């Protein structure tokens, strides 16, 4: 989907769900990491994370668009557009918009440590994400020598 197609989708969702036109810019922004989209207060544009479409599909994309349009229309009208405002919460409910975006991670974040070290004396294991210089450090439990048993992947 291109930015032009995204803008057309946002315009149609705005007319169908809110009965009001969307007349500003809309685009995909690959740099968004933790959010599905954002409404820019300064220029009234909407940016959408392309991962929403890739990971969750069109239905979730429409939900994120509705959420951002709630910010857009309330801000234009001078009403409470923030997440904590009653106007915002009631408009979300009225338009069946989601309050939060579903998680966007594709599982590319490693949950386990990359480096494993062991004390030669007491056999205590140290799990680390960053490499450490074993010549500079000793075991915190028994002051024994530490050796690397699993190098980074």
Clarify whether residues 139 and 75 are in a common domain. no
Domain check: are 87 and 125 in the same one? no
Give the confidence band of 151 by pLDDT, cuts at 50, 70, 90. Answer: confident
Please say if 68 is a catalytic residue: yes
Same domain, 12 and 69: yes
From the list 8, 68, 77, 118, the catalytic residue is 68
- Look up the CATH number of the domain holding residue 48: 3.30.2010.10
The whole-angstrom separation of Cα 151 and Cα 114 is 7
Kindly report the average pLDDT of the chain as a whole number. 90
Say which range, 8-22, 63-77, 99-113, 115-129, has the weakest mean pLDDT.
99-113
DSSP 3-state assignment of 84? coil
Q: For residue 85, is it within any domain?
A: yes
Q: How far apart are CA 82 and CA 75, in angstroms?
A: 9
Give the model confidence (pLDDT) of 53-69 as tens digits: 998 999 999 999 999 99
108: which DSSP letter?
A: -
pLDDT band at 104 (very low <50, low <70, confident <90, very high): confident
Q: Which domain holds residue 135?
A: 115-150
């Amino acid at each position: 989907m291109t930015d032009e197609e995204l803008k057309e989708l946002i315009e149609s969702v705005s007319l169908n769900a809110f009965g009001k036109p969307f007349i500003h810019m809309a685009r995909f922004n690959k740099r968004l990491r933790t959010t599905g989209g954002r409404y820019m207060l300064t220029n009234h544009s909407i940016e959408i994370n392309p991962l929403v479409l890739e990971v969750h599909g069109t239905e979730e994309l429409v939900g994120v668009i509705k959420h951002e349009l709630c910010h857009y229309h309330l801000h234009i009208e001078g009403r409470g557009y923030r997440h904590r405002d009653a106007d915002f919460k009631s408009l979300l409910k009225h338009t069946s918009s989601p309050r939060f975006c579903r998680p966007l991670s594709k599982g590319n974040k490693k949950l386990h440590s990359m480096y494993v070290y062991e004390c030669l004396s007491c056999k205590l294991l140290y799990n680390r994400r960053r490499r450490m210089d074993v010549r500079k450090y000793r075991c915190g439990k028994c002051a024994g020598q530490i050796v690397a048993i699993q190098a980074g992947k």
